[in-house]
Amino acid sequence: MNNQLNVSLSPHIHGRETTEKLMFGVVIALLPALVASIIFFGAGAIITTATAVISCIVFEYLIQKFILCKPISITDGSALVTGLLLALNLPSNIPAYMVIIGSLIAIGVAKMTFGGLGNNPFNPALVGRVFLLISFPSQMTTWPVPAGFATGYADAVTGATPLAVIKEGVKNGESVSELMQAIPSTVELLLGKLGGSIGEVSALALLIGFIYLLYKKIITWHIPVSVIGSLALFTSILWVFNPDIYAGPAFHILSGGVLLGAIFMATDYVTSPMNSKAMILYGCGIGLLTAIIRIWGAYPEGVSFAILIMNAFVPLMNAYIKPKRFGEEIKNG
């Protein structure tokens, strides 16, 4: 035999999973939501999504090539996912230059300054979004009303989101039950007839994506279920306490970005905890903070802030919440 044998430590076989496959799995899971948004928002959704995805990938390439001088890793799909998630968190009629600025912040500031994939403490897409929200508050809070596929990019009719309707109404002393008349019904919320960012339009499409992610074992149930569960629990308590000024749990879950956040943003591998106990705590934190920001905070929507705040606690959770190790506690049957 003339060829030299390879020698390495065990294991000598490797599973079929790769980072690329995981990332593209997320992209596939996002497709229903993307399709739904195109149906509801028309050209604006396509333009915004394409701008965000392309600019994220280009920024990643440029930064790796010219600033970090590291090998180019845009093929791993992480920039694609970041771009897609950023777009899904934006209104469909936002000017393209803002999307590009958001992408630059997401990739350049939130991801690459920390060393690229795997090292960023905060979810890049959310950092981009929040940066835009703070910098361009008016554009970021005038949401186009879903008017169908034929809607043009610039001529979309804008209106308030259900959350904003409730928030403003309660502030003006109206009761929730009256306000509920002004906003879409729960079924409509589920199917996607609410004003809002591109991705949060159809709860059903997001849930299809969730099932796909679970089926492919890309994420576990812990984070989404604990986010939604804690939000539902907290808002139910308030609702039972005083239904006049607090909206019910179904409304809170289906309106706004809770589902998008819980399923796709909070579960981001890099910025979420690494064991199931910590994941549940993290999810509950997000749910609670979302409810608090929505009900008492200045903004009508709080998912992005809640996730970013909990991102900051992840290193602490990883350091102090440990899985119960095998054989740690003696229990003999």
Query: Distance between CA 169 and CA 174 in Å, rounded?
Result: 5
- Return the range that interacts with another protein (CB under 8 A); candidates 4-12, 100-108, 161-169, 244-252: 4-12
Q: Between 282 and 305, whose beta carbon lies closer to another protein?
A: 282
Give yes or no for residue 333 binding another protein (CB under 8 A): yes
Q: At what angle do helices 19-41 and 78-88 cross, to 10 degrees?
A: 20
User: Closest Cα to residue 95, out of 149, 34, 156?
Assistant: 156
- Out of 97, 241, 320, 326, the residue judged to bind another protein by CB under 8 A: 326
Please tell me the count of residues contacting another protein according to CB under 8 A.
46
Give yes or no for residue 150 binding another protein (CB under 8 A): no
Question: Which residues between 104 and 133 bind another protein (CB under 8 A)?
Answer: 116-119
Q: Between 17 and 168, whose beta carbon lies closer to another protein?
A: 17
CA atoms within 13 Å, Cβ hemisphere of 170: 20
Q: How far is the CB of 326 from another protein (least distance, A)?
A: 4
- Out of 9, 69, 150, 298, the residue judged to bind another protein by CB under 8 A: 9
| Alpha-carbon torsion (8, 9, 12, 15), positive or negative | negative
- Out of 13, 69, 134, 298, the residue judged to bind another protein by CB under 8 A: 13
User: Closest Cα to residue 87, out of 117, 49, 137, 131?
Assistant: 49
Query: Do 20 and 77 meet the contact criterion of CB atoms below 8 Å apart?
Result: yes
Q: How far is the CB of 277 from another protein (least distance, A)?
A: 11
Q: Between 236 and 275, whose beta carbon lies closer to another protein?
A: 275
CA atoms within 13 Å, Cβ hemisphere of 192: 26
CB-CB neighbours of 175 under 10 Å: 13
Quote the tokens at residue 197. Answer: 């960012």
Give yes or no for residue 138 binding another protein (CB under 8 A): no
- Out of 59, 157, 252, 274, the residue judged to bind another protein by CB under 8 A: 274
Classified as helix, coil or strand, 151 is coil
Give yes or no for residue 269 binding another protein (CB under 8 A): yes
- Rg (the chain; Cα; Å): 21
Q: Between 6 and 181, whose beta carbon lies closer to another protein?
A: 6
Q: Between 12 and 171, whose beta carbon lies closer to another protein?
A: 12
Give yes or no for residue 78 binding another protein (CB under 8 A): yes
Query: Distance between CA 171 and CA 200 in Å, rounded?
Result: 25
Q: How far is the CB of 184 from another protein (least distance, A)?
A: 36
Give yes or no for residue 316 binding another protein (CB under 8 A): no
Query: Distance between CA 177 and CA 217 in Å, rounded?
Result: 40
E strand or H helix that includes residue 158: strand 158-159
Give yes or no for residue 69 binding another protein (CB under 8 A): no
> Footprint of another protein on this chain (CB under 8 A)?
1, 3-15, 17-19, 21-22, 73, 76, 78, 116-119, 220, 269-270, 272-275, 318, 322-333
